[in-house]
Amino acid sequence: MATDNDIYVQQCARDTLDPYGIFLWKKKHTNNVDIITSTCILKTSIAPSTSEVFLQIYNRNSGNWETLDSDNVTAADTEFTLNGVQSSNLSYYYDGSFWVCRRIYQKAQT
User: Torsion angle, CA of 63/26/36/68, rounded to 10 degrees?
Assistant: -60
pLDDT in tens, 17-63: 556 777 888 888 888 888 999 888 888 776 666 678 889 999 999 99
Question: 79 with 4: CB under 8 angstroms?
Answer: no
Quick one: CA dihedral 13, 18, 22, 24, positive or negative?
negative
In a domain, 79, yes or no: yes
> What's the predicted TM-score (pTM) here?
0.79
Could you tell me what percent of the chain has a pLDDT over 90?
Answer: 29
Pairing of strands 99-107, 20-28: antiparallel
| Structure confidence by residue, pLDDT tens digits, 49-101 | 667 888 999 999 999 999 999 988 777 778 888 999 998 888 999 998 999 99
Number of structural domains the chain divides into: 1
For residue 10, tell me if it sits in a domain: no
76 belongs to a structural domain = yes
Burial code (b: 16+ CB inside 10 Å, e: under 16) for 76-91 equals: eeeeeebebebeeebe
Q: How far apart are CA 102 and CA 86, in angstroms?
A: 11
Q: Is 39 exposed, middle or buried (0-12, 13-18, 19+ CB in 10 A)?
A: exposed
- Full residue range of the structural domain in which residue 85 is found: 20-107
Residue 9, in any domain of the structure: no
Residue 11 located in a structural domain: no
In a domain, 12, yes or no: no
Q: Is residue 84 part of a domain?
A: yes
